[in-house]
Structure 1
Amino acid sequence: MIGPILARRDAAGFWLAVVLTGICTGLGAAALTALLELVQHALWGGNGVDLLDGATQSAGWWHILVLLGAGLLTGIGQLLLVRLSAANSIDITAAIWFQAGRLPMVRTLGSAVLSVLVVGMGASLGREGAPKQTGAVLANLMSNRVQLTDEQRRLLVACGAGAGMAAAYGVPLGGALFALEVLRGELALRFVLPALLTSLTATGVSWAFLPDAPTYHIPSYPSSLSCALWAVLAAPIIGVASVGYVRAVAWADHHRPTGTWRLVAPAVALTMLGIVSIPFPQLLGNGRDIAQLAFTGQVAPLLLVALVALKPAATLLCLGSGTPGGLFTPSLATGALLGGVLGLPWMHLWPGVPGGLFAVLGAGALLAATTQGPLSTIVLMVELTGHARAAIVPMLLIVMIATLVARTIEPRSIYDARLSDAEVKRRQRQREAVSDGGAGA
């Protein structure tokens, strides 16, 4: 166990590893973000950030050509990584819980770079997977350097992964809470300071290269009785939907192609995405652009209804084909679309609530329920939008109820998708043992 850190003999080595992990992760996140923007600018034009504008103005044949290229790159890249690294790929969550945070460096970093390239080309997955993997690998390397214990390594790898997200999106507090609540699975006081310092350091370093601004720009939406009542009614629906989403992610991940199919499946899947993206360019990329439009009420009702089915389907198609990438932003975008759809009838029954507010609440609810991290999600939504008190009461209500419903039905989160049923039960037993130990103390 990790006791009072400053009282330990190895305190200096541990804190040095924390600071170095934060610095290196911040630099890595900045480099990966620059690579993503370079790829988007080269292939889709625009300012390198808004992929939707570039895709909307591009010809249909270009959609197919670029996504086919992304599929071929994925297949070739996966085969090369298998040949270059004898170690099997390990998911960050599984590594933290069952391998004391140990990750294969070449395979993990190679997958991170590959994911940035294909997401920049239009794969319907998140860009946060790459900085998370980079932060986790760097933390593992630092742990080796200073010879940390397994428990310290486990904590530092979780902190490194959270710092990667923090640096990529400029969310230092949310990244720290995500590392502990979602990845480490324990919000203990002795873990808080290392997580905060790692995320703060990484974010501060990344701000030297990346803009210090909210990811999403939304109005300051007010709370109201109508909005709070809608949150209570919509939360169970979103909670159940999140269960279906998590189970679909688990199924897709467990049925990833193997052998020579690793080369064929991504090309077929991403070409299909390219074809469908001709009438629906909103499906390309991690979903940031369509979430921004939904948050400000700029998506037509019929398009909302279509995208709430097509966006998660596109993400699952990419994931199931073996394409590497994250699930954070696609899940947030899906929640925004679902919240927008559920808000449509309410706007007729009880007018007065802005349509974009339903999307913001839906995004928070689905994200919390699928990650099973309600506290980190609320903080992340505050940092991502830059609004601390806007509609905070309905946000708390919808996040709490949706997460409770989801957790009652399904113990896994989207980050537990690679775990087998036996591993899920083993993790649950470990959590219960930690809770009982803390209660006994």
Structure 2
Amino acid sequence: MMAHDPSRTYWLHRWTALLLTGILAGLGGMLLAMLLHEVQHLVYGYSQTLLISPQSFLEGVTDASAQRRFLALTAAGLVAGIGWWLLARYAKKRISIGEAIKNPDQPMPAVTTLINSLLQIITVAMGSPLGREVAPREVGALFAGGVARRLHLSLADIQLMIACGAGAGLAAVYNVPLAGAIFTLEVLLVSFSWEKAIAALVTSALAAWIATLGLGDEHQYHFTTEIAATSLVFWGALSGPLFGAAAFLFRRVTQRARSKVRSNWQMPVFSLIAFTALGALSVWFPQLPGNGKGPTQLALSGDVTLQLAVAILMLKVVVIWGVLRAGAQGGLLTPGLAVGGLLGSVLFILLGRWFPGTDMASFALTGAAGFLAASLQMPITAIALIMESTRMDHSFLVPVALCVTGAYMTCRHLEG
């Protein structure tokens, strides 16, 4: 009889965990995205017969009556405030992805994590200005940690699986396999080895592919500018510090808002106030509800005026601050893209004539990348995410990279 090889058995368990992590993160991201679409269609009354609709959320919100927008966002305030207050009061304490990676011997509480993720998806679908990407990341990390423990992996490998699950969730919901893998290494693990890189690539690629089976193989934004103008290289280098300074201020505003949240009577009251204010603003600005994908697309299409871009930019920051202060949960990835893209559009209108051959879409693209890289402190992930989500021509890589570098370094310097 052949001797049992424990190292081979462990190797099989490890690869089984990787494959299951990719599959489960992909399914989780796909189902959460489908739920998002279903709630959006139901609340705003558009595309009732198609789950994956050619009509965008911005178009659906714009076509809805002003009264419907106001009532939808007021209802979102009730759902957010009461939901997260009850979760904080009665459920087990939430363990974030970062905490789960740092302490792999403390599992993420399943019920708390799933309810928190569902509340994020439902409120974003109803018009919350925060991002939807945290929910699939949390679900992916939850599943990955559970699988790793069931297969009796080491604490180091449980850490790796949790990080891979979170990155795979991001890859699934946005169809960005490379960005998901880089996010795992750059933001979650903050380290690199070929072993970790292969694990991140396998799980993110598998999750993104699984999600496309239900959501289709679509990229997030339509970017039609074919080639980057030579002058855009100079703009990317010059504008980076400006976007970095703006991102620094944005980080301070959002961090302070989150630090003041109290899990008491304030949460439902402040949430209702914040979302009702957003609902009132949506009567005049239907571009405000939602995570910011609509305004980003407007900027990338060159379809904003100076007055509209300035108004949406300023109000977007205010409503993001408001819902964060109220205690709503969600990401700042898509909102960061929107803020950076709109700021880039404003700067093009003011300064674009000094950079011949450029257009608003190019300024919005570099601005979105630079602001996102600095505001979330993930420069390489930001470049990969912009590349995959817009399918930009490779000629944009140099100006985007220069803007990202300048923005990231400036923000780091300002933060000391």
Task: State the TM bucket, normalised to the shorter chain.
Answer: over 0.9
Paired with 1:7 and 1:407, the residues of 2 have a C-alpha distance of 43
Structure 2 counterpart of 1:293: 298
Structure 2 counterpart of 1:111: 116
Matches within 5 A, 1:298-337: 298-337=303-342
TM-score w.r.t. the length of structure 2 is 0.93
Q: Is the 8 A contact 2:228 2:362 kept in 1?
A: no
Say whether 1:207 aligns with 2:212.
yes
Question: Cα deviations across residues 252-279 of structure 1 (Å, max 9, x unaligned)?
Answer: 1111132122222211111111111111
Paired with 2:235 and 2:266, the residues of 1 have a C-alpha distance of 46
Paired with 1:197 and 1:150, the residues of 2 have a C-alpha distance of 20
Give the stretch that moved more between structures: 63-72 or 158-167: 63-72
Give the paired residue count: 405
Structure 1 counterpart of 2:230: 225
SS in 2 for 1:207: helix
Structure 2 counterpart of 1:56: 62
Deviation (angstroms), 1:84: 4.8
Say whether 1:33 aligns with 2:33.
yes
Distance 1:19 1:258, change over 3 A: same
Q: Is the 8 A contact 2:313 2:343 kept in 1?
A: yes
Question: Cα deviations across residues 354-390 of structure 1 (Å, max 9, x unaligned)?
Answer: 1111001100001111222211111111110112414
SS in 2 for 1:324: coil
Give the stretch that moved more between structures: 258-267 or 13-22: 258-267
Deviation (angstroms), 1:345: 2.2
**Letter matched to residue 111 of structure 1:** N
Question: Cα deviations across residues 267-326 of structure 1 (Å, max 9, x unaligned)?
Answer: 111111111111111111011111011001011121111122111222221122111211
Paired with 1:410 and 1:101, the residues of 2 have a C-alpha distance of 31
Structure 1 counterpart of 2:130: 125
Say whether 1:236 aligns with 2:235.
no
Structure 1 counterpart of 2:3: none
Structure 1 counterpart of 2:253: 248
Unaligned runs of 5+ in 1: 1-5, 412-441
SS in 2 for 1:29: helix
Q: Is the 8 A contact 2:370 2:404 kept in 1?
A: yes
Distance 1:8 1:329, change over 3 A: farther
Q: Is the 8 A contact 1:252 1:320 kept in 2?
A: yes
SS in 1 for 2:290: coil
Say whether 1:24 aligns with 2:24.
yes
Paired with 2:353 and 2:207, the residues of 1 have a C-alpha distance of 46
Paired with 2:310 and 2:136, the residues of 1 have a C-alpha distance of 32
Paired with 2:335 and 2:269, the residues of 1 have a C-alpha distance of 24
Paired with 2:414 and 2:158, the residues of 1 have a C-alpha distance of 32
Matches within 5 A, 1:18-417: 18-47=18-47, 50-82=56-88, 84-85=90-91, 87-98=92-103, 102-410=107-415
SS in 2 for 1:406: helix
Question: Cα deviations across residues 91-121 of structure 1 (Å, max 9, x unaligned)?
Answer: 2223323556732221111110111111000
Give the stretch that moved more between structures: 344-353 or 281-290: 344-353
Paired with 1:44 and 1:268, the residues of 2 have a C-alpha distance of 21
Question: Cα deviations across residues 53-96 of structure 1 (Å, max 9, x unaligned)?
Answer: 222222222222111111111122223323552x2122222332
TM-score w.r.t. the length of structure 1 is 0.88
